[in-house]
Amino acid sequence: MSALLELDGVSKTYEMESRIIPRLLGRRRPLLAVNNVSLTATRGEVLGLVGESGCGKSTLARIILRLDAPSDGRILFDGHDIAPMSRAALKPFRRRIQMVFQDANSSLNPRKSVARLIGEALAEIAVPEADRRERGAELLKLVGLDGAMLDRYPHELSGGQRQRMAIARALAMGPELLVADEPVSSLDVSLQAQILRLLMDLRSRLGLTMIFISHDLALVHHLCSSVAVMCAGSIVEQGETRRILHDPAHEYTRKLLGSVVRRRYSPIAPVS
Amino acid sequence: MALLEVENLGIGFPTGGRIVEVVRGVSFKIEAGESVGLVGESGSGKSQTALAIMRLLREPGRITRGAVRFDGTDLTQADEATMRRLRGGAVSIVFQDALSGLNPVFPVGVQLMDVIAAHRDVTREQARERAVAMLNLVGIRNAEERLGHFPHQFSGGMRQRVLIAMAVACEPKLLIADEPTTALDVTVQAQIVALLRDLRERLGLSLLFITHNLDLMGEICSRAVVLYGGLMMEDSPVETLFTAPSHPYSRALLDCVPRLEDEPGMLRPIEGAAFTLATAEAGCPFAPRCVLADARCGREHPPETGQHPHRIACWWSGS
C-alpha cells in the first residue's frame, strides 16, 4: 500500500511573547511545540496519535490540515509537498483532508441549521443548491442519523448526534484523509463505542485513511492498525498497534499503559 | 444511623407551566466511612442529585419531594445559615472543572485560607499554616511558595488537587466528588483517584464519587448506585456489580467500555439514543434500549426489589 500522508522532519516553533528589553536585544524565547516529527499514514489505515495534553498532538493535527504552517519539514500528501503552499495552491487539497474536533458544540455554528452547516461544505465542492438537501440527507443517513435532522439546530441535538453530524459534515467534501482529534472524549461511555463503531464502518465503506488522536490507549487499541506515541513534541515510539501495546519499547509508552485502569469483571454474553 | 440518607428524592424544573422532574424518586444511603459511586450517563440526574444534597440547585430547579438526611438533619428543610455552615465544613464538594471552581484573580492561598477562616476560629497565621499543610497533604510541592500562585499557574491536575485541598481543609465527614477526573488525562486521572483513596483512609471521609466511568469508580468505591433517566436502576456492592450485574443497564454499561483486554474492534455499544426527558414514558427509562424489554417494561416502572445493600429496579431481576 502506498503512503497517503508522509511527514518528514516536521517541526513547529512558536515565538513566546517576551518582555520588551530582551526583545529589543534580539533575545527570543522559542517554544518547540512539534520537534522533528516523521510519520507515514498508509492509504486505508487508521493511524493513532497518542499522548497527554500539551504533548503537541493537536498542533500536529493543525499542521497536517495546514491550518498552521510548519516551521520546518515536508508534508507530503499524495506525493505533493503541501508545507510551503500558499492559500490558493492549498485550495484543491482542502477538500481531500478534513477534520472532526473533540467538541462538536464549539465547532458548529449554533445559529445555522444542520442543512446549512452541511450545505456550506457541499457548496464548496460545487454541488448545485437544488441537490444539497438530498445530498445532506444521504450524508446524515451515512452516519446513522435521520434525514429529518436537517432542519434542527446544533443545540437541539444530543451530544452523540452532534458528533455524528460533525462527522457527516467532514465527509461532505468526500475527503481521503480524516483527522479526528479526540472525537469521543467528551461523550458518555455508552456513546463512545457507538461513534468508534461508526468510524470503523466508515473507514471500510469509504476507504478513508484516518488519523485518530487520543489519550486513551484502549480506544486506539480498537480502532488503529498503527500508532505513534508523542511526548513533549517528539514521537518517542511508533509502529504496529499490537506490538506497541504488548511490548512497548519506550518508558513513556509503558507509563501510559500503566495508567489504564484494567477491567475487574468478566463480560457476560449478551442475553438473546 | 447512616451518615447520609437520600430518601425518595425528586428534583424538578418548571417547563411550560408544569414541573418536569429530572430526578424522580431516588433513594440511597452512605454509612460513615463508606465510599459510594453514583454512576450514570449525561441526563441520568447524578449531578443534580449531588447539587440537591448540597442545596446548590440552580434556579429555577428545586427539590420536589423526599428528604436528604445528613447526620440526622433533613437538609431539604434546613435554613440557609445552617447550609452555609455545613458546606465546606461537614459536607464538601469537588466539581469536574477545577478552573471554574477557583477565582482567577486571587492567589490559591487566599482562597484556601478563606475557607478555613469561614469555618474555624483561627488567626491569619494559623489559617496560613493549615493552608500549607493542606497543600502538602494533597501532594503539591513547595506549598509555601505555591500559596502565592494564581490558578492559571497550575496545571489541570494540580488545580484539581488545590480544589480537593479546599474541600478537605475543614475535615468534612462527607466529600462529594462530581466527575473530578473527567477533564484530565489518563495518567493524571489515576493520580487523582489514588489521592482521593489515600485521603479517604487518612481522614476517615465518606465519599460520594460521581462518574460515568465504571472502571474508575471500581478503583475507589465499595458500593455503586446506578442511575438512568432520573431513576435508580441498581444499588449494589461493587464486587457484585462487576462479577454479576443484575440490571440489564448495569450490564450494558459495563460491556460498552472499550478495553485493552478485548479483541481489537470488539465493541459493544448500547444501541439506541441516550435517555431524554422529551421522550420519557411511564415505564422503565431504559426499556427503549434494553434487550430484555417487553410491553410491560415500556408501560410500568418496575418496583424496587431486594434489600440494602443490593437493590434492583427491573421486571426481569428475579428471572
Q: What is the pLDDT of residues A135-191, one digit of tens each?
A: 999 999 999 999 999 999 999 888 889 999 999 999 999 999 999 999 998 888 888
Tell me the residues of chain B between 223 and 262 that have a Cβ less than 8 Å away from chain A: 241-243, 245, 248, 251-262
Q: Fill in the amino acid letter for B139.
A: G
CB B205 within 8 A of CB B175: yes
How confident is the model over B3-20, as a mean pLDDT?
94
Rounded to a whole number, what is the distance in angstroms from the first to the last CA of chain B? 33
Q: How confident is the model at residue A18 (pLDDT cuts 50, 70, 90)?
A: low
CB hemisphere CA count around B173 (13 angstroms)? 10
Name every chain B residue with its beta carbon within 8 A of the beta carbon of A245.
Answer: 260
Whole-Å CA distances, A112 to A150, A183, A185, A267, B171: 10, 21, 25, 43, 50
Which of A191-200, B131-140, B252-261 tops mean pLDDT? B131-140
Q: What is the pTM of this model?
A: 0.87
The CATH number of the domain covering residues in A1-96+175-272: 3.40.50.300
**Contacts of residue A37, Cβ cutoff 8 Å, sequence gap at least 6:** A7, A9, A10, A11, A60, A73, A230, A233, A234, A235
Domain residue extents for chain B? 4-90+177-259+304-312, 99-171
Three-point CA angle B229, B231, B237, nearest 5°: 120
- Determine the residue among A46, A158, A265, A271 to mutate to test chain B binding: the one whose Cβ has the most chain B Cβ atoms within 10 Å: A265
In this complex, the residue of A190, A223, A263 whose CB is nearest that of residue B259 is A263
Three-point CA angle A97, A100, A101, nearest 5°: 130
- Determine the residue among A105, A145, A188, A224 to mutate to test chain B binding: the one whose Cβ has the most chain B Cβ atoms within 10 Å: A188
**Model confidence pLDDT, tens digit, residues A103-117:** 877 888 999 999 999
A148 touches chain B (CB under 8 A): no
Angle subtended by helix axes A189-206 and B248-255, to nearest 10:
50
pLDDT averaged over every residue in chain B: 92
How confident is the model over B49-74, as a mean pLDDT?
96
Residue A239 has pLDDT above 70, yes or no: yes
Q: How far apart are CA B44 and CA B37, in angstroms?
A: 14
B319 touches chain A (CB under 8 A): no
Q: How far apart are CA B316 and CA A49, in angstroms?
A: 43
Residue B113 has pLDDT above 90, yes or no: yes
Q: How confident is the model at residue B15 (pLDDT cuts 50, 70, 90)?
A: confident
B197 touches chain A (CB under 8 A): no
How long a stretch of residues is chain B? 319
**Model confidence pLDDT, tens digit, residues B176-198:** 999 998 878 888 888 899 999 99
Residue A265 has pLDDT above 80, yes or no: no
Tell me the residues of chain B between 130 and 189 that have a Cβ less than 8 Å away from chain A: 156, 185-189
Cell of B253: 454499561
Q: How confident is the model at residue B98 (pLDDT cuts 50, 70, 90)?
A: confident
Judging by DSSP bridges, how do beta strands B35-39 and B91-94 pair with one another? unpaired
A265 touches chain B (CB under 8 A): yes
Q: How confident is the model at residue A272 (pLDDT cuts 50, 70, 90)?
A: very low
Q: How confident is the model at residue B280 (pLDDT cuts 50, 70, 90)?
A: low
**Model confidence pLDDT, tens digit, residues B156-167:** 899 999 999 999
Burial class (CB in 10 A: 0-12, 13-18, 19+), A89: exposed
CB B254 within 8 A of CB B233: no
Name every chain A residue with its beta carbon within 8 A of the beta carbon of B224.
Answer: none
Q: Report the percent of chain B where pLDDT is more than 90.
A: 77
Q: How far apart are CA A237 and CA B27, in angstroms?
A: 50
CB B160 within 8 A of CB B167: no
Name every chain A residue with its beta carbon within 8 A of the beta carbon of B292.
Answer: 271
Name every chain B residue with its beta carbon within 8 A of the beta carbon of A218.
Answer: 257-260
Rounded to a whole number, what is the distance in angstroms from the first to the last CA of chain A? 41
A241 touches chain B (CB under 8 A): yes
Q: Which CATH architecture has domain B4-90+177-259+304-312?
A: 3-Layer(aba) Sandwich (3.40)
How confident is the model over A10-29, as a mean pLDDT?
78
CB B25 within 8 A of CB B231: yes
Domain residue extents for chain A? 1-96+175-272, 104-174
Question: For residue A227, what are the β-bridge partners?
Answer: A48, A239
- State whether A193 and B267 contact (CB < 8 Å): yes
More confident residue, B17 or A266: B17
